[in-house]
Chains A and B, each alone.
Chain A
């Protein structure tokens, strides 16, 4: 495997701690918060993380297409993660398509065969494997990974927490400097 070239773009107003592990071509949109020791690994192609996402400690987001996957032949596949997603402590997400307002609870695992729409909740410790598409507002919970559909919009946004983190994290951690958009535009 060729060595990954790090091309990290951090948009203004995003809070990305320096102790996080970010490899490959990763774009982090404004308003997102990435905790220390979170991992974002873009092996098979770029990752774009949408606005106002929270990626907590020990969470792993991996863009790695297994060789027997149907997308394996496709070149330059981009993993686009929508806005307002919450990746809780210790969650591992390998899904190749993620919509908006999803919650990946602690220690959950989503394999690369799964595509996730919007408003889904993967419960704590739930492993979602096997080829499937999670329709909107799916809630997976319990040790048997029971599924249900939330009729109501899953509990409100995490804006309050985001505001708090944006205030507190810079006090105790070194941050990655956001890139200058104008400069980047000029260069290209």
Chain B
């Protein structure tokens, strides 16, 4: 995991944040990197991750975003409770209900029937529903007794009150608008003068209900009055406490309505629902990530991860870093696409250039917005300005003197024997294997660095990107673009 998610090499997202490549997306339509923070997030569907039931969003709201059938362990708060079966011996009661006195004798004669009963248990901390006094249930899918909250009624009245306040406000506002709109009408209206407008006709015909409807008034609530709180009992200072009986903060937070103090009141909690989320580019409003709806599927319908479009840079090794002394760093660059790539490594833009880039981007976006606004029904997205990269370079990188080609990805290539290419590679290329290439560059850490300071290098990587042919007719052919990614590398620490 450390290898996959290493933070030594970071790419600059379009919004100016530094992210490892695995955390970035690539918008095929804007041809830019996008990160978690500069995209729209949309909830696609709700589901329970325990029973994998898909729950429509309306119903999820009704159920307070909780699953009806699954429970979380209130004690260890990390695993789901599972239903366990026990068999108990019960006297035959069926006949007692049906028959008269005769069968009652039979029941008392000791005829026992085994019956399956279920209780909930946690496999991690061995919490069971019997611990808190919930009796066993005859069916696995039986609705377990719901916990009652002390303030539930009060909470409901307050909720209803505020609903009615909102309704009242809305009506007032509507009335106001109606009154104002008749006055502010610019154009004379003939029907108004003749008294034959729609509402008048409706009133004459007796259809008008709005007049008959009384104005809704907010339901009154009794304001809560602060009660006198008793002093703490003496024992609390003198008696030793048993920590096993007191709930932890974590346990209390999982039951916000009750916040029990004693473990005797830790009731099983309904499991929170999870969501499937799609991620949308803010600039062109195309999806970069769209999962499949089915909760059991972990596949995507659209997945534009940057790691499958942008060449990946990794550190293979780095010499010992000493200030003002050049050291060699070996990088591996991988081409994840199905087309050959020409890569040029260049200096990072200066601060002025960066500002100009940001300015240009904003202008571009505003222009696009004014064009697209006419056609699209979607609300224009709010775009935050990109920021200037916060990372400061602390070493000088000697750039390679020429650009180079990385072969396309070929899944069958790993079965081939190593074929030495006839082409003469420049000196800085150590080796190439299928779609990978290793380059060696020399870096010189700045003089003012102290021991254990991070040595940061950075470069812009220009690469050619061939778009995947899409189904739309005007983009049938692959097009080649020259794209640029800015990369910051943490080469290591200064040693002395």
- In the bound complex, residues from chain A placing their C-beta under 8 Å from that of B264 are 151
Checking A141, A142, A148 against B263 with a beta-carbon cut-off of 8 angstroms, the contacting residue is A148
Q: Quick one: CB contact mask for A140-162 with B, threshold 8 Å, 1 for yes? A: 01100011111110110000000
A41 to B: closest C-beta gap in Å: 29
* Shortest Cβ distance from B263 into A: residue: A148
State whether B125 touches A142 (Cβ < 8 A): yes
- In the bound complex, residues from chain B placing their C-beta under 8 Å from that of A146 are 76, 125, 248
Judge whether B299 is part of the interface by a CB distance below 8 angstroms.
Answer: no
State whether A154 touches B244 (Cβ < 8 A): no
Checking B78, B84, B126, B245 against A139 with a beta-carbon cut-off of 8 angstroms, the contacting residue is B126
Judge whether A31 is part of the interface by a CB distance below 8 angstroms.
Answer: no
- In the bound complex, residues from chain B placing their C-beta under 8 Å from that of A151 are 130-131, 264
Total interface residues on B, using CB and 8 Å? 18
Main secondary structure of the interface of B (DSSP, over half): loop
A103 to B: closest C-beta gap in Å: 9
B304 to A: closest C-beta gap in Å: 36
Judge whether B124 is part of the interface by a CB distance below 8 angstroms.
Answer: yes
Judge whether A121 is part of the interface by a CB distance below 8 angstroms.
Answer: yes
* Shortest Cβ distance from A152 into B: residue: B130
Given contact pairs A141-B76, A142-B76, A155-B121, A149 touches B245 in the complex (Cβ within 8 A): yes
* Shortest Cβ distance from B244 into A: residue: A149
Judge whether B278 is part of the interface by a CB distance below 8 angstroms.
Answer: no
Judge whether A123 is part of the interface by a CB distance below 8 angstroms.
Answer: yes
A152, B86: Cα distance in complex, Å: 14
A147, B244: Cα distance in complex, Å: 6
A131 to B: closest C-beta gap in Å: 17
Judge whether B444 is part of the interface by a CB distance below 8 angstroms.
Answer: no
Binding site for B on A (CB under 8 A): 121, 123, 138-139, 141-142, 146-152, 154-155
| A–B pairs, 17, beta carbons within 8 Å | A139-B125, A139-B126, A141-B125, A141-B126, A142-B78, A142-B125, A146-B76, A147-B244, A148-B75, A148-B263, A149-B263, A150-B131, A152-B130, A152-B131, A154-B126, A155-B84, A155-B128
Binding site for A on B (CB under 8 A): 75-76, 78, 84, 121, 124-128, 130-131, 243-245, 248, 263-264
